Amino acid sequence: MKELRNASLLEVDAESAAQRVDNFLLRHLKGVPKSHVYRVLRSGQVRVNSGRVKPDYRLKAGDRVRLPPLRLPAPSQRPAARPLALPVVFEDAALLVIDKPSGVAVHGGSGVSFGVIESLRVSRPQAKFLELAHRLDRDTSGLLVIAKRRSALVELHRMLREGEMEKTYVAAVRGRWRGGARDLDQPLHKHVTAGGERRVSVHDDGMRALTRVRPLAVSERFSLLEVRLLTGRTHQIRVHLAHAGHPVIGDDKYGDFELNRTLAKEKGARLMLHAHQLAFAHPVTKSRVALEAPWPDPLRSFFDRVTPSHAR
């Protein structure tokens, strides 16, 4: 550990306005344990405009934030983030939307040295602000939104909370889907296994979750489904489909492990889940944004496999 010997003073700009002071500090003091950040906040060592504030204080443009002397961690021994070739689907001054490949994490952690957001910050050193608006599982491909302004991030988070962003996925699943288009609405509960892994299960005491499913193609062994998220719970699509008896192909948490092993011997079995379409009001201009990421080759191959040649 090395010591930051002198207190420092930061002035809040327009992009950081309306942010909670605890989140502001966590962003500026990367590597400092959260417990220490909250300790100096609660003890009054952090001052805003020379006064004490609570962790939930919302900053205003022009506020002056005093940071006390702190101990910062030694430079990480983890491999440094490097630029990745990430297809850009949409970009303007406020937003960046990419088509994330399967197998790429959205951020570092849990054994991953770096992910999409760290790679983007390395490849765009001039960018003052880049933050994930939402997340995709590491093995889920497709549309991922990154905010380039704090104000855009705040509005995107509001839209996500209030269900104003239309998110449509394509999934290849085990078995013949029956009953046509229907909703899956079982409540979902998050828990941690004895081995420390995060899991989600259907449980009466869980949070409300709603997934709308429409079959695109079906056969006796597999189905290809269009899936729309009407709520945004962790692992929602994967858990709902598994509970319905149609686990997503390649799902290593909730899937049919024997089937996955069999398919892996044939051609490899990535998670067959793709964030295909997004539609929302632009957080700044309010104009409608409708985006689409083409199906990756493995999903296209599954579609060809499931759909009779005369029906294509």
CATH number for the domain formed by residue range(s) 8-67: 3.10.290.10
Asked whether the predicted pLDDT for residue 2 surpasses 80, the reply is: no
- For every residue of 259-305, DSSP letters joined together read HHHHHHHHT-----EEEEEEEEE-TTT--EEEEE-PPPHHHHHHHHH
Torsion, CA 48, CA 50, CA 51, CA 52, rounded to 10? 60
**Between 97 and 298, the higher pLDDT residue:** 97
312 pLDDT band, cuts 50/70/90, is very low
Q: From 228, 222, 235, select the one nearest 269 (Cα to Cα).
A: 222
pLDDT, position 289: 97
Give me the mean pLDDT over the 254-279 stretch.
87
The residue from 99, 137, 139, 256 that is catalytic is 137
Ranked by mean pLDDT, the top range of 100-114, 148-162, 182-196, 282-296 is 282-296
pTM of the prediction?
0.78
Domain locations in the chain as residue ranges: 8-67, 88-311
pLDDT, position 269: 67
pLDDT, position 311: 45
In this structure, the number of other CB atoms found within 10 A of the CB of residue 180 comes to 8
Share of the chain above pLDDT 90, in %: 53
Listed range (23-32, 72-81, 214-223) with the worst mean pLDDT = 72-81
Q: From 136, 153, 139, select the one nearest 27 (Cα to Cα).
A: 153
Question: Which residue matches tokens 């399967």?
Answer: 102
Give me the mean pLDDT over the 253-278 stretch.
87
Asked whether the predicted pLDDT for residue 126 surpasses 70, the reply is: yes
Active site (annotated) includes residue 137: yes
pLDDT, position 226: 97
pLDDT, position 181: 97
**Between 62 and 70, the higher pLDDT residue:** 62
Tens of pLDDT, residue by residue over 13-51, are: 877 777 888 888 877 777 677 778 888 888 888 999 989
pLDDT, position 210: 96
pLDDT, position 213: 98
> Chain-wide mean pLDDT for the chain?
87
Q: From 144, 201, 139, select the one nearest 171 (Cα to Cα).
A: 139
Asked whether the predicted pLDDT for residue 157 surpasses 80, the reply is: yes
Asked whether the predicted pLDDT for residue 78 surpasses 60, the reply is: no
CATH number for the domain formed by residue range(s) 88-311: 3.30.2350.10
pLDDT, position 254: 95
